[in-house]
């Protein structure tokens, strides 16, 4: 066989191994992390309810700062969550609080300046 053919076969084998690693390797391999789940914005007759759950899987107790902006008005909450526990954040947003209809939230881990979760909703409140 020529050298080019051997190089081609070896390259295909390496490519196959890399593809298999990407497909079959788990996304989180035992790393410690935090997660936001069950995020929802529910409409009620008086406004909306913003709700989400923060799961702490950091391997230690952790504090989180939650910032919620309702049409540019900031409200901040700091919660401490034990390792393996969860915290459910619930915020009622009354219709009369809204002028533009923009609601956004940002969640920071203790001691970090980069948020690990954020989201924005544009509400239709006509």
The 10s digit of each residue's pLDDT in 44-82 is: 888 899 999 999 988 889 999 999 999 889 999 999 999
Q: Is the pLDDT of residue 31 over 70?
A: no
Q: What is the mean pLDDT of residues 1-16?
A: 86
Residue 8 lies in a domain: no
Q: What is residue 116's predicted lDDT score, i.e. its pLDDT? A: 87
pLDDT at 27: 57
Domain of residue 42: give its range.
33-122
Is residue 20 in some structural domain? no
Asked if residue 55 is part of any domain, the answer here is: yes
The answer to whether position 28 is within a domain reads: no
Task: Quote the DSSP letter at residue 72.
Answer: T
Neighbouring CB atoms inside 10 A of 15's CB total 10
Q: What is the model's pLDDT at position 4? A: 85
This prediction's pTM:
0.70
pLDDT for the residue 21: 77
Domains contained in the chain, number: 1
- What is residue 80's predicted lDDT score, i.e. its pLDDT? 94
Q: Is 6 domain-assigned?
A: no
Q: Is residue 22 part of a domain?
A: no
pLDDT of 124: 78
Instruction: Output the pLDDT for position 125.
Output: 65
Distance between alpha carbon 103 and the CA centroid of its chain, in Å? 16
* 62 in any annotated domain: yes
Which CATH number goes with the domain that contains 97?
Answer: 2.60.40.10
Give the integer Cα–Cα distance in Å for 103 and 124: 11
Tens digit of each residue's pLDDT (9 = 90 or more) over 94-111:
888 888 888 999 999 988
Q: Does residue 101 fall inside a structural domain?
A: yes
């Amino acid at each position: 066989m020529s050298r080019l053919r051997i190089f081609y076969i070896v390259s295909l084998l390496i490519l196959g191994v890399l593809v298999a690693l990407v497909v079959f390797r788990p996304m989180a391999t035992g790393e410690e992390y935090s997660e936001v789940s069950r995020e929802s914005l529910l409409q009620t007759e008086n406004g909306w309810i913003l709700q989400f759950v923060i799961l702490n899987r950091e391997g230690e107790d952790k504090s989180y700062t939650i910032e919620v902006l309702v049409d540019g008005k900031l409200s901040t909450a700091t919660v401490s969550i034990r390792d393996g526990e969860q915290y459910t954040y619930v915020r009622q947003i009354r219709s009369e609080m809204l002028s533009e209809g923009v609601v956004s939230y940002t969640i920071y881990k203790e001691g970090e300046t980069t948020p690990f979760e954020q989201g924005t909703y544009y509400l239709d409140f006509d």
